[in-house]
Amino acid sequence: MLLNPSINVSVMINPPDLPPEQKLLRQQYDALKKEFAKLFALKDKMVAHDEPLLTSLYLQTIGQKKYEAYCLNVELSKLKHRFSLLQAYVNRREKPDLNVVNNELESVFAEYQKQIETEAQRLAAAKEFLKGGFLSPEESKQLRDMYYVIVKRLHPDINPDLSDEQQELFLQAQAAYELSDLDTLKRILLLLNISATGMEISFPDLQTTVEHLEKQVKKLQEQIVELEMRFPFIYKENLYDKAWIETEQETVCREIEVLKDAIEKYKTYVILLEEWKPE
């Protein structure tokens, strides 16, 4: 990823003597800036890294069996519908027209077939994802820490006076974070020339900025809670619990056996009806 070396982030030195209300606002701003950057980095991590990983783990451990059960459910429903169509012919004392029956089934179950194909693709993608290389725990922490610093310096909600070049640099940092691209994040930090004393980007109205940040922090908190309450995050702890996985697999396996028995039973019924002829 190419970076623009001409980007220059301006530094604003805090005035030495501020009125008490301005000092309080400055403290609020600094605290909110840190909280916003932390939450923003956390949400991005959940969406860019945790969600695909947890989804893949679920599909690989539980989803494979549930996919098998779903396919069997569709097959059983198809057999039951076929049985119903054939039985109608028998009730009318007519020889079943298998072409008509087949066309009807194909029409009714077309969407189910698409869903089966979609799920098959998701399972294949999950396997490929889990084959890929992952960052070490140390590298992952380094990635998060660097991104947190960059968010504090370049996120538009924290720094309203960013230039177009600085905003573009932040977009590059987001892309690098999503791709776990450590090298690009390191180059962005070098480009920013961030020192240990920190950096402030000027903004026109401190009070307005504090109020805006308060709203954005609350919004991020709500978004994170919403993520944690939906798939796949509701299984985050369970997917690393071998006993839970085995229990879930056993439950689905029992369901699969019941479905297989029912399918064999209906196959027998269907064969008898397909061969039926009026006297």
Residue 158: pLDDT over 70:
yes
Please give the mean pLDDT across all residues of the chain: 85
* Strand, coil or helix: 239: helix
Which band of pLDDT confidence, cut at 50, 70 and 90, is reported for residue 77?
A: very high
Lowest mean pLDDT among 29-38, 198-207, 246-255: 198-207
Which position has the higher pLDDT, 209 or 254? 254
Pull the structure tokens for residue 246. Answer: 């085995």
| Cα 9 to Cα 36, 167, 171, 218, distances in angstroms | 20, 11, 15, 28
pLDDT recorded at residue 196: 34
pLDDT recorded at residue 185: 87
For the chain, the structural domain boundaries read: 20-194+206-274
* Strand, coil or helix: 12: coil
Lowest mean pLDDT among 66-70, 161-165, 203-207, 221-225: 203-207
Most confident segment among 12-16, 158-162, 194-198, 264-268: 264-268
pLDDT digits (tens, 9 = 90+) for 4-61: 444 444 434 445 566 777 788 888 888 988 899 899 899 988 988 899 999 999 999 9
Which band of pLDDT confidence, cut at 50, 70 and 90, is reported for residue 193?
A: low
Report the distance separating Cα 72 and Cα 89, nearest Å: 26
Question: Side-chain half-sphere of 58: how many Cα atoms within 13 Å?
Answer: 17
Report the distance separating Cα 135 and Cα 125, nearest Å: 19
Report the distance separating Cα 80 and Cα 82, nearest Å: 5
pLDDT digits (tens, 9 = 90+) for 90-110: 999 999 999 999 999 999 999
pLDDT recorded at residue 260: 96
User: Is residue 177 exposed (0-12), middle (13-18) or buried (19+ Cβ within 10 Å)?
Assistant: buried
pLDDT recorded at residue 243: 96
Report the distance separating Cα 231 and Cα 52, nearest Å: 11
